[in-house]
Amino acid sequence: MPIPDTINRIVHDWLRHSSQLAAAAPVDPFASFFSEFVAYNALYSEVTKRLLHRKLISDDRESTGDRAGATKNVAAFLGHRAIAVALDSHTSDPPNESRYLEKSIVRQICLRFYICTQRNGRPRRDEDETLVNQVARGTECQRVESVLTLIYKTRCNLFHGGKKRIEDQANLLLPMRDVIRIVNTLLIAKIEGDPIVPEPDLDPRQIEIPTFVAVGDADIRDGN
């Protein structure tokens, strides 16, 4: 069944905006990442509704919350293998480097940034290390869910961090953006072919399409 009209408009408006940003020179990694993530947010929220409609997840915050939607629910809906294969098929630079996007993300976290934090903002290096190891050497399920978790936590840091812009962040945000773009493509195709459409929570006329605001001062938490 087609994606509901309201979700479809949000997704395609932001994906179009992301494509325009990607074609610009130089690319703004913050705006490009966020544009792709807004579309992702709309898609994984729709996925969570469908899994709940089928009673495949519990009706509680742990199963239906934003983090679960962006990580476990997307992986369950698409299948870990489908996501892993799509990531493996990504054209790398340099060519023929396997798992290029994931390696780029892991490399930047190891060298420059921390992602997981305590409530007081202090880094949780053990959590970063666990996620990085699972991306690099874990099972297929661990690999997929861990890279999605790192991306989700990075998005949270960009909203709630110190708002200090660091040029090196492009080296982390752009491969993360490309992972989201791959997963968005899979989600759109899978949702379009999905036979169940849940009842909408709101009349579409009550839902506002977000307006893009340039993110000029957001940051990822700097590990140095």
- What integer is the mean pLDDT of 78-85? 96
- What integer is the mean pLDDT of 101-105? 90
Average pLDDT, the chain: 83
Quote the number of domains for the chain.
Answer: 1
Q: What is the pTM of this model?
A: 0.82
* pLDDT tens-digit map of 8-47: 889 999 999 888 888 887 888 888 999 999 999 999 999 9
The verdict on residue 86 lying in a domain is yes
Checking if the pLDDT of 183 tops 60, the result is: yes
The verdict on residue 214 lying in a domain is no
* pLDDT tens-digit map of 125-165: 999 999 999 999 999 999 999 999 999 999 988 876 655 56
Cβ–Cβ < 8 Å for 63, 56: no
Domain with 79, as residue range(s), is: 5-197
Maximum C-alpha span of the chain: 49
CA distance 25 to 5: 32
The verdict on residue 154 lying in a domain is yes
Radius of gyration of the chain (CA): 17
The verdict on residue 131 lying in a domain is yes
The verdict on residue 121 lying in a domain is yes
The verdict on residue 202 lying in a domain is no
Cβ–Cβ < 8 Å for 135, 146: yes
CA distance 105 to 94: 15
The verdict on residue 204 lying in a domain is no
